Structure 1
Amino acid sequence: MPSIPRRPPMPLHHDAGRRQAVQRLFTTAAAAVAGLPLASAHAQAAAASGGWPDRPIRLVHPWAAGGGGDIVARLLAERMQPLLGQPVVVDNRTGAGGNIGAQFAARQAADGYTVMTTAGGFAIAPSLFRSLGYDPVKDFVPVTKMATAPLLVLVRADSPLRSMADLVALARKEPQGVSFASFGIGSPSHLMGESINRLAGITMTHVPYSSGNAGTDLMGGQVTLAILDALSQTPQVKAGKLRALALNGTARLPSLPDVPTLAELGIPFELVGWHGMFAPAGTPRAVVDRLNRVVNQIIALPEVKGRLFDLALFPVQPPTTPEQWGAMFRQDVQSWGELVRSAGIQPT
């Protein structure tokens, strides 16, 4: 029987191309075992091997265009493009209190070409809904926290209430006579109002709004006060149409320096909303780290910080690592969940 000639052994040298080919082979095989589409496996391998990004990136934002979070998302997208060398396109996927967009983002390939920016309600959702269709902790990897978004306790400009002390005194005198408007049941503004009730020992009646008319009804006298976002209401305060009694968080707003925090007034409610970035779980660590560096670099730009302050937001400084933001986010999920349960809100 004729002998079969043997190929000489390949030299054992450190060839980057061979390593990348082997990495792609193993990634593809692992994906096949896990049942992932091969196209996704190839994309993840390319991202992990340093080829990311080589096409446009979709930035999902689960809220409507024109809102505070959308402004932040577009501020980022505009500046991410030159730093990453690819277009970054904002994709507004609205509905169900941010859940439709979040579910969509969770189901995208974990290849670095879909990321999501969202707000603090993302941390509350697990306590409000029995079936989200996604898990905020398990289905996403945190990238970085970008800004915090305080809420204002607001009354009409002609209201006799000029301070939180006045509000507490009135609520104690007329337990059923004080009402507060919020963004809706289980929203940060609702939970903040219920916390003020508990911490101050008063009973204000909650009036939920879902169509954005809380500010209009406040000015019309339908409610005693409203707890609304500083971003949309600071112009009304500066124009003399509304009076801000306090805000949550740990610092006063530069745009409203005379408005104290609740903690300063002896009502220790410091939980505050935020704007943050997430990617689908499984996104390569190299991609997450690069996104983290790029976004943190953008947030630190003087013109971006100035724009965020103008929007009544606090840019996050010092910047957060993915691990730091992940720990903060998990704590937020727990803290807001405790507030939901203490308010007696049943998940739907």
Structure 2
Amino acid sequence: MTPPPEPPIPPARRRLSAEQYVEGVLARSRGVLSRFITLIESRRADDRDLARRVLNELLPHTGQSIRLGITGVPGAGKSTLIEALGLNLIHAGHRVAVLTIDPSSRVTGGSILGDKTRMERLSLEPNAYIRPSPSGATLGGVARSTRETMLACEAAGFDVVLVETVGVGQSETTVADMVDTFLAVLIAGAGDELQGIKRGLIEMIDLLAVNKADGSNRPHVLRAVNQYRNALRVMHPPESPWQPPVLACSALENAGLDAIWNAVLDHRRTLERAGAFQQRRQGQAIRWMWDLVNDHLQRILREAPGLATLATDLESGVRKGELTASAAADRLIDALGLPGAPPPPPSDRG
């Protein structure tokens, strides 16, 4: 089905109003959506204020998508799987947004942003939208704005949102806490399969796929599937309403991807029957609120002129061993002058 022509948008050099952003996103204008996501990613105070006002207007039009997080070890074929799955979903009538988190350099702040190159066929589809975002300095390499970007894509009519992690550190935990289903993509044939998967990841995932089940590698994949199934039986209590399935697939040959998508749908139905689906999303929203509070407070501590100088001095004291970390933290919190802040423990006074 050919999508309707996009409505015209003002020239890129002219700032859009909140009303223009809302109208453009709801009209499914890719140009306005892209500009709005850039606004979301901005750290300028006026941009953040405008983005918040737009998101408040868009909020009633969000929440209807299927949110799938995807992680995996390097070389597992995540991008190939996402592209093949995305094409399948589009051919089935869905509109698919892919949000990928690129690792940023800690030295230059730059990132590769090469996902449209890695998903060339998917990027050409009119009902697909791929948005790579630099992770910056946020915990675990997950872009600060990914959750808001997800809401914007939902308001723009994308009914499936795929979030790909960089697959390192705490990014997996953060992405798992913003999606409905969390999929881990792994491979076989790299030695002891269970050595390559962390216990924490096993406890987070809702679905596990062992990729590259093609050619001479297929027997290795099937053997790995059995090992992972045994591990999941131990990690997940039998009374849990959902036992994560382990599936073999070949993204290269587009084999087993229908089974993965059916498992995603089955997971959602299971949570809904248990009354856990809405609770999960509500809990994610509350944790998101506190994440934003923490992010804002850290920005104040690092950017406010007086506090930034104090923070630098305290960091120096901690680095030299002249001050405990807890005492330095208390000094910074005291400097904020928040009313009703509890006093630090006497033993931590520097």
**TM-score of the alignment, normalized to the shorter chain, above 0.5:** no
Bigger fraction of residues in strand: 1
Bigger fraction of residues in helix: 2
TM-score by length of 1: 0.32
Using CA pairs below 8 Å that are at least 6 residues apart, which structure has the higher relative contact order?
A: 1
TM-score by length of 2: 0.32
Larger radius of gyration: 1
